[in-house]
Structure 1
Amino acid sequence: MALSKMLIGVAAALLAMPAQAATSYVRAGRLIDTEKGVVLTDRLIRIDDGRVAAIMPYAPPPAGATVLDWSGYTVLPGLIDMHTHLADWGQTNNVAEPLLHSAQEIAYVGARNARTTLRAGFTSVHDVGCFRAFSDVELRNAIARGDVEGPRMSVVGAYITTPGGGGEVTGFAPDVTVPADMRVGVASGPDEVRRKVNYLFQHGVDSIKLIATGAVLAEGTEPGQQELTEAEMHAAVEAAAARGGWVTAHAHGAEGIKAAIRAGVRSIEHASLIDDEGIALAKAKGVFLDMDVYNGDYIEEIGTKEGWPAGYLRKNRETTDAQRAGFAKAVKAGVKLSFGTDAGVYPHGKNARQFRYMVRFGMTPMQAIQAATVTSAALLGWSRDVGALSPGHYADMVAVARDPLADVSALESVDHVMKGGAVVR
């Protein structure tokens, strides 16, 4: 009897032990170290159970090991886009477009967009809003379960916006009733903002997106006009912090940007009309600017061709050049600049088009790559997991045949993509 009990105990102990980690190797011809800003040549990357275990000068791995030969490529960490809209229909010339698609349809559209984004080399995203609340939460969860192929997602669930503000579906007759799931984040006053923030976290969001000013692509709002008060934004920041979360603010106008920074947000989306005082304040407070400096050209070209509303095109023209001038100033000032594109306004999978614009307006190719890796990882709060290829990080990486430090547009067409040690392209 004693022997039987002993054997049962040994068996139970063996079952409780973790399975031996799956080990594989990648040989990288050139490896961009985004943490140090240098390039290493002919490196062997060891991957254990989906994470980087070691990086060493190349030497033949153990006999029989699984080795992926990327010796003819430049290898860098999986890219991060801090401003996507995966769980929505794309932008069109119809202001009522969000009302034309069911929640069920949006689920399938989101899955398609997620797959496209991952295969373009973007292995992590901050998805900053969808019209049908919590579509992004369910997409994130489906990816995490392995049901859907896509990037790692941090999501906001819905926009916190003032009634009729830049986060509302607007532009049609006043007697049209907008579905309740498209107005989940509409709030007035600090107390209601707190309730809405708590509601969003109760339903699984990771962070909060405030619509601090009017929007370019919304009828009845102006980008320079502040919509949420500083008190409302501060209430959101406090409520999110109590839940272990953080806040970003859509803010085009200079005063709205400064109010959001004073209120304690972690980052500013767009920052199109930022002034010198706003740049200095962002620098002093350590606030990230997430500026979509490519997007204006797409809106001008396609919006004009497809007949987007005249107000959209006017507002885009009033903000595009100003945003790029502000970006150049922010680069020179040493403000923390992440990589955010507003993918969803333009087709998903084209995210890397922004790299050459960031270089055109003041960054080096290495700085632009760091913006889309270590800097964006820091903004997400995910620096221990993504944004770099060093021991402990997920084995998320892309490989390109051309040298992106010589021509950063090489990242617009990546050759291979890996997420968590598994090759997806």
Structure 2
Amino acid sequence: MRLLPLAAVVASTLAISAHAAEADKSTAATEVRTIHCAHLIDTDAGKLLGESTIVIEGARIKEVRPGKADVAGAKQAIDLPTSTCLPGLIDSHVHLTMEFSPTTYSDKFRLNAADFAIRSTVYAKRTLDAGFTTVRNLADNNGDSMSLRNAVNAGIVPGPRIFTAGTAIGSTGGHADFTDGFRKDLAGDPGPKDGIINSPEDAWKAVRQHYKDGADAIKIMPSGGVLDESTSVDNAQMTIEEIKAVVTAAHDYGFTVAAHAHGAEGIRRAILGGVDSIEHGTYMDDADMKLMKEHGTWLVPTIIAGKYAAEQAEKPGVFPPQVAAKARLVGPIIQATAGKAYKAGVKIAFGTDAAVYPHGRNAKEFVYMVEAGMPPMFVIQAATTHAAQLLKKEKELGSIAPGKFADVIAVEGNPLDDVALLQKVGFVMKAGTVYAKTP
């Protein structure tokens, strides 16, 4: 898809603001520009507006005016006369430093940390081109997502705004233990410095290490998972005391805590332990949903990951046998659980587990969420206002409003009529910088 007005404006816009850091350090930090949209989705109000003009000053939105307004002093006008504008999308669950393939289980013995880091720059650009201007990166193995974040923030490589959890925290042999499946002389005994804990005391050490390393959030693994080389997808793998210790330490340091959890008991322990969000939630039961509402815990469903893994499980040689068996179990369940959670009134933020499926296809999740019974406006809010609230960044992200970052995307047509249009983003602006996709 090609937005005809876009081709005429991209080159000059990039010349003005390419590689501008969000700290407003570019030479265009105070320049005023405008974007004229045929329609604008007001995610704060949950309404589709008519023709609108977004006024941008530097990296932030100055104001939004109705109609096609002329703005005194504006240096540039970006005209999108047939497009619907909406805030840059937020994916609350990605893994930008890897992408699953049939060689994944052997790659960790053949590839260096630098190999993963270099590939991550490609995945970051694909994600940004897909309209996702902010992501929460929930786990890596080498802290390379922090380096990627820093490079993006410095304007060295293009990518979304990244809030990263660094390495995941879990128990010996659990879903967070990156040595699962290794032979004994290579497996060793990872400890808190590596994110592997077996006591509340270990939990404090692990969180403090994440603070030292420069993480933005904490990810824990209180239940089994699909892609590790163990046999259980849903067993509980952390005690409530360990979870509470992680959460208490994390909140002391200003971190939010995301809990990977498929099994009902692991979900229950994570909620009672005080986590901010449950990731996946496949086997969540009615009691878990009730607890989530009582505690204000978010659900990040990641339907696309479950469905994609189940599809891959039917292809010979993609997964080890025990992984394929787990994928076949989760895939048919995860979408229905998400729909049931929505109907129960659980708070939902958009997230996909990108890397389980190829990066850049994140917006397919919108289609699956609507199929699960969620209205199009709700799923768009899940990826904007809701996700910003989960990040505790609602004052800066999630809507097109004065004072917030100028994160704006556009699609041809109306995604409220056809949410699949969000898979064809034609215009992407992040913090006042325009990025053009290949037509």
User: Normalising by the residue count of structure 2, what TM-score does the alignment of the two structures yield?
Assistant: 0.89
Alignment counterpart, residue 65 of structure 1, candidates 60, 71, 75? 75
> What's the offset of the Cα at 1:180?
6.8
What is the RMSD of the two structures over their aligned residues, measured on CA atoms?
1.9
Give the alignment of 1:409-424 within 5 angstroms: 409-424=420-435
Residue type at the aligned position of 2:111: H
Q: Which runs of 4+ in 1 moved over 6 A?
A: 178-183
Deviates more, 1:59-68 or 1:237-246: 59-68
Alignment counterpart, residue 58 of structure 2, candidates 25, 49, 56? 49
Aligned counterpart, 1:298: 308
Residue 369 (structure 1) aligned with residue 342 (structure 2): no
CA–CA distance in structure 2, aligned partners of residues 269 and 48 of structure 1: 36
Aligned counterpart, 1:145: 154
Residue type at the aligned position of 1:344: A
The runs of 5 or more residues in structure 2 that have no matched partner are: 1-26
Alignment counterpart, residue 163 of structure 2, candidates 130, 144, 154? 154
Deviates more, 1:184-193 or 1:293-302: 293-302
Alignment counterpart, residue 95 of structure 1, candidates 105, 116, 141? 105
> What's the offset of the Cα at 1:294?
1.7
> What's the offset of the Cα at 1:406?
0.7
The runs of 5 or more residues in structure 1 that have no matched partner are: 1-17
Residue 229 (structure 1) aligned with residue 261 (structure 2): no
> What's the offset of the Cα at 1:139?
0.7
> What's the offset of the Cα at 1:187?
1.2
> What's the offset of the Cα at 1:181?
10
Tell me the secondary structure at the aligned position of residue 96 of structure 1.
helix
Residue type at the aligned position of 1:313: A
**Structure label with greater radius of gyration:** 1
Alignment counterpart, residue 397 of structure 1, candidates 391, 402, 408? 408
Deviations 1:256-311 (A, max 9, x none): 10100000000001101000000111011110000111222211223422521222
Residue type at the aligned position of 2:269: A
Aligned counterpart, 1:3: none
Residue 210 (structure 1) aligned with residue 258 (structure 2): no
Asked whether the 8 Å contact 2:31–2:75 carries over to 1, the reply is: no
Asked whether the 8 Å contact 1:95–1:171 carries over to 2, the reply is: no
> What's the offset of the Cα at 1:89?
4.2
Asked whether the 8 Å contact 1:168–1:183 carries over to 2, the reply is: no
Aligned counterpart, 2:278: 268
> What's the offset of the Cα at 1:183?
7.1
Change (3 A) 1:64 1:127: closer
> What's the offset of the Cα at 1:103?
0.9
Aligned counterpart, 1:288: 298
CA–CA distance in structure 1, aligned partners of residues 29 and 430 of structure 2: 20
Asked whether the 8 Å contact 2:98–2:355 carries over to 1, the reply is: yes
Asked whether the 8 Å contact 2:29–2:59 carries over to 1, the reply is: no
Aligned counterpart, 1:30: 39
Residue 107 (structure 1) aligned with residue 137 (structure 2): no
> What's the offset of the Cα at 1:123?
0.2
> What's the offset of the Cα at 1:368?
0.7
Aligned counterpart, 2:21: none
> What's the offset of the Cα at 1:224?
1.6
Deviations 1:74-119 (A, max 9, x none): 0000001011000124343552332321111111111111111101
